[in-house]
Amino acid sequence: MKHGKKYRASLAKFDLSKKYPVAEACKMVGELKFASFDETVEAHVCLSLGKGQSVRDTLVFPNQFKGEKKVLVFCRDDKVKEALDAGAAYAGSQEYIDKVKDGWLDFDVAVATPDMMKDVGRLGMVLGRKGLMPNPKTGTVTNDITKAIAELKKGRTEYRTDKNGVVHIAVGKSSMDAAKVAENVVVLLSEIKRKKPADAKAGFIQNVSISSTMSPGVWVDFKEGE
């Protein structure tokens, strides 16, 4: 891929072969910014996983950087008031299932009570493609709607490995203090290590890099954060 002059200039500012401590890497990525907008800072964590293994969970970063999420709750009528009082943007049953079937997706995350999943599951072709399908593993299929919404409002974020065993996740913005971005990265790595499969081989975390939307990636000495 051919890169522009600003990108090539940023490459000259650091050693591509070196791994930097978490705090230094985050500071460096902030300094590499050259776009006119507030770039998103992402972490890319490559894991050593066996066949059929994956890592998936949610976490709440200590330093938030995203706007408040618009939550849709699929629930029966007796739960609608609880959901709306807890901060959901929308709550209901068949009317919202029909809206989603028709292509409506004006929400950031969906929560469902267990008794709704038989019907919500039929929306798999729509919600699944967008990563919006409620899932008990991520706490979005639950009878405790109030708790789920409260955690989502605090910024609970899902992370998961892709087909190549890599977690790609936003950890901050280029306008944030680098120390706060670094704190988010340390929490992320700690959570990923906590989800290490029992039979995973040594060297579970193979490598970690951090980059902003437009910048090159900086390798991280992730063991420094252990």
pLDDT tens for 56-110 read 888 989 998 887 789 999 999 999 999 999 999 999 999 999 999 999 999 999 9
**CA–CA distance, 149 with 71 (Å, rounded to integer):** 7
Q: What is the pLDDT of residue 226?
A: 43
pLDDT tens for 105-125 read 999 999 999 999 999 999 999
For the beta carbon of residue 42, count every other beta carbon within 10 angstroms: 18
Predicted TM-score (pTM) of the model is: 0.72
Across 46-55, average pLDDT:
88
Q: Residue 177 above 60 pLDDT? A: yes
Q: What is the pLDDT of residue 225?
A: 40
Q: Which residue is associated with the tokens 């299929």?
A: 141
Distances, alpha carbon 33 to alpha carbons 16, 105, 140, 209, 212, in Å: 16, 32, 35, 16, 7
Question: Would you place residue 138 in the very low, low, confident or very high pLDDT band (cuts 50, 70, 90)?
Answer: confident
pLDDT tens for 27-36 read 989 888 777 8
For the beta carbon of residue 8, count every other beta carbon within 10 angstroms: 11
**CA–CA distance, 226 with 223 (Å, rounded to integer):** 5
**CA–CA distance, 147 with 37 (Å, rounded to integer):** 34
Q: Are 94 and 102 in contact (CB under 8 A)?
A: no
- Which residues have a Cβ under 8 Å from the Cβ of 198 and sit 6 or more positions away? none
Across 32-58, average pLDDT:
88
